[in-house]
Structure 1
Amino acid sequence: MTRLALALLWLCHFLPLPLLRALGAAFGYLLYLLGAERRRVTHTNLALCFPELGEGERRRLARRHFVAFGQSFLDRALLWHASPARLQRLIQVEGWDNLPRDSAPTLVLTPHFLGLDAGWSALTRDRPMLSVYSQQKNPHFNTALYAGRMRFNAPNLLSRQDGMRKVVKALAEGRPFYYLPDMDFGPRDAIFVPFFGIPAATITGVARLAALGKARVVPCIAEMTPRGYRVRLLPAWEHYPSGDVTADTRRVNAFIESEVRRIPEQYYWVHKRFKTRPPGEARFY
């Protein structure tokens, strides 16, 4: 079944974007109707993060999120198989000057917006990059995902199980690190800092890697647009790291929250972001 789905995904890369997005929207609606578990997770996340919205508004936001999720999933047909020339037309990158070509260690801080794979495709098409790779449970999908992310400039994809030593070493070699630090990976190497006012287990990797590798931090937001994607490389953070790991990790979450409020339907709400709770606190999911 997975091989058939991947074959259909390959065929989709021949479609024009408007038709592909229409199919993705239908796929997203189907996921919303059938995916009870992830629908509950999304509704819980939105209730926690947007208590000021009415229940009806949050449900409409959840449906828009699933539509965007379905569209971003089918867009992988393009990211994995379309020609470099077509991808260049579909993905607009702003702020290249904020990611200079010198060999200084650089963390490209990329939150989990639905366009993150498009951001990776755009940056790796331009230069060799570094990132961390998580093995997928389905071996066929895992192979396809890995191949899709390895298309351009032989990027260095490390396993999450390799630890941070290899990342620091690769940073020193001058490859920008496309870093996605905003998921709940459990209590290990994490502290509780606010995200939308809720204590959230947040890994301290941005602050610690910036300090260990003497790296600058360049925020990157990859968002979906009607014509494709827009990837914004923002100016490197000044006075970061500050030496205060808690304050620096708070800064990461505050930045991500500000961007989520701008395009809330495109954040990765199907993830159990508040799964890990402080001792004695009740679970949300």
Structure 2
Amino acid sequence: MSILQDANRQQISKRRKIDFILHILFIAATAIGIVALMALLVNIMVDGLSRLSPELFTNYPSRIASKAGLKSAIVGSIYMVLIMAPISFILGVGAAIYLEEYANKNKFTRLIQLNISTLAGVPSIVYGILGLTLFVRGLGLGRSLLSGSLIMTLLILPIIIVSSQEALRAVPRQRRDASFALGATRWQTVAGSVLPSAMPGVLTGVILALSRAIGETAPLVMVGALTFVAFLPSGIMDSFTVMPIQIFNWISRPQEAFHELAAAGIILLLALLLIMNFAAILLRNKYQKNL
């Protein structure tokens, strides 16, 4: 017995040492990421806070740093989200409802599901090439605000579909069975019972996907979003720019003043992303309380 007890103690001691070493490694890895992130944030704040002024919101881009602003880029980002949000919500949530509630579970639907999950991890530049071929040249939409919005819709659709499906799967099967037992049709069950229960997860996924789209640059570079737009788009077929494109343009210039403007733009973009993430949390909590 004593030999077995000694062996057990040695195994337990060895496991504890391994657990301690892995714990230290995980803490070190987390600390490296946090320190790097904090260093970047501090550097951005130091460079950009001095450039945060009303002129940054009211002035158009300019070749003179003291007169340059983000007005056209901010408005272009807002317009793009206003076009992209309803299209991506309807298509993404609709596809998730069909695949989860209506489609038969066979090889074909499993293949579709696999492709959607794969598309969620495709680099964004690929969507830019696809949009350039399909929307700009194929459909003749040109380098317009509509083309950019449709490309970003393609980018976030797989994310919305996957997150919406997960939210629908989380709804207990008993809700569906109870609705069917009361004589409701499948659509009445989905619209009146399943979708309201899944709405917190659906809205969270949609808003987080939109947050990703706002910060993307590569697809819009491919479609030809301009880096110098001294006007506001008056229609969906007009030329446009967005905040990441304008920041990219400023950071590529050699003058230090433009680097400070880019840092100020990054601060605004971070603030916008934080607001959208906070809105996702509020909407999720609101709908969960109403269930």
Q: Same fold (TM over 0.5)?
A: no
TM-score by length of 1: 0.25
TM-score by length of 2: 0.25
If each structure's helix is expressed as a fraction of its own residues, which one has the higher value?
2
If each structure's strand is expressed as a fraction of its own residues, which one has the higher value?
1
